[in-house]
Amino acid sequence: MSTIAILSALPQEQGSLVAALQQSEKITHAGRTFWRGTLHGHAVVLALSGIGKVAAATTTTALIERFGAGRIVFTGVAGGLGAHVQVGDVVVAQDYLQHDMDASPIVDRWLVPGYPQIRMACDPSLTEALLAATRATVERDSHQIDWPSLGMAAHHVPQVHAGLIASGDRFVSTLAESTALRSALESAGHAVLAVEMEGAAVAQVCADYGVAFAAVRTVSDRADDGAHLDFLQFVETVAARYADHVVHAFLKSL
């Protein structure tokens, strides 16, 4: 079987996976640190994506060209855009688009020139396995999280969603911007669930190389003006925990 690459957005999500690797080897390439080894019987390489689409694309290309990755999974955080997507929920991507791509009137808005569709699909079978691992993890782990310590309701019950995620080289952090982005996409038939800064670039590179791709994002905020909680505390308490347990469950299921 081909090497499985696990791309993480944050160091906190990667740390425990590095520690769990068997026969681990640290490799520096293209200005990045990669960890190669085995995990649950699979050849695995771990990397941090870097922030933004270019950094993520460079890392993805290195994973494919240098390390022979045949399947790539991304774990990270995102801002919730869908009306029903709340902080603490988890979104598994079914497809991606670049919300800051606009080559109109040459081609339709959001369409990357040279590609047949605005939305780039994730691999169905890989996504289904990731979705199952995510649902099992959230159902088990959410009951063990002290939500009030994060400034959230004690009865908070996280949901797992599957659908469209948008990426762009901009940190969406105001209510006006997130509302405008969601409205523009939904009016064009793109019911977006979350927004982040890397996944669509990874999806594009994987499409170019014919490499299977899947992604999961924990919702850390609503991409608006609200300061709902301490971000680093949320990452360490919720996002990093979910990422670690989802990856282990996912690899065991393959």
The single residue of 13, 196, 224, 244 carrying the catalytic annotation is 13
pLDDT tens for each residue of 103-136: 999 999 999 999 999 999 999 999 999 999 999 9
Considering only residues 95 and 153, tell me which one the structure prediction assigns the higher pLDDT: 95
* Mean pLDDT over the full length of the chain: 94
Joined tokens for residue 241:
């925990």
Section 79-105 average pLDDT: 96
50 near 33, Cβ under 8 Å? no
pLDDT at residue 188 tops 90: yes
Q: Using 50, 70 and 90 to split pLDDT, how confident is the model at 228?
A: low
Q: Is the pLDDT confidence value at 196 over 60? A: yes
Q: Supply the pTM of this predicted model.
A: 0.95
pLDDT digits (tens, 9 = 90+) for 13-71: 998 999 999 999 999 999 999 999 999 999 999 999 999 999 999 999 999 999 999 99
Classify residue 60 as exposed, middle or buried by CB count within 10 Å of its CB (0-12, 13-18, 19+).
Answer: buried
Residue 42 buriedness (CB in 10 A; 0-12 / 13-18 / 19+): middle
pLDDT average, residue stretch 78-101 = 96
Residue type, 65: E
Query: Mean of the pLDDT values across residues 88-116?
Result: 97
Count Cβ atoms within 10 A of the Cβ of residue 140 and give its class: 0-12 exposed, 13-18 middle, 19 or more buried: exposed
**DSSP character for 17?**
H
Query: Does the pLDDT value for residue 169 go beyond 90?
Result: yes
Measured at the CA of 160, the angle between CA 159 and CA 166, to 5 degrees, comes to 115
**pLDDT score at 232:** 83
User: Which residue in the block uniquely carries the two structure tokens 């991409």?
Assistant: 223
Report the C-alpha gap between 218 and 76 in whole angstroms. Answer: 6
The mean pLDDT of 189-198, rounded to a whole number, is 97
Return the closest-CA partner of residue 87 out of 192, 13, 139, 161. 161
Instruction: Please list, in sequence order, all residues whose beta carbon lies within 8 angstroms of the beta carbon of residue 87, skipping any fewer than 6 positions away.
Output: 80, 152, 219, 220, 221, 222, 228, 229, 234
**Residue 173, pLDDT score:** 86
Residue, of 151 and 70, whose pLDDT is higher = 70
Q: Mean pLDDT throughout 99-104?
A: 96
End-to-end CA distance of the chain: 11
- From the list 89, 123, 198, 221, the catalytic residue is 221
Selected residue with higher pLDDT from 118 and 151: 118
**Catalytic status, residue 221:** yes
112-212-40 Cα angle (round to 5): 145
Q: What is d(CA 162, CA 226) in angstroms, rounded to the nearest whole number?
A: 24
Q: Chain-centre distance of CA 8, in angstroms?
A: 8
CA distance 35 to 28: 9
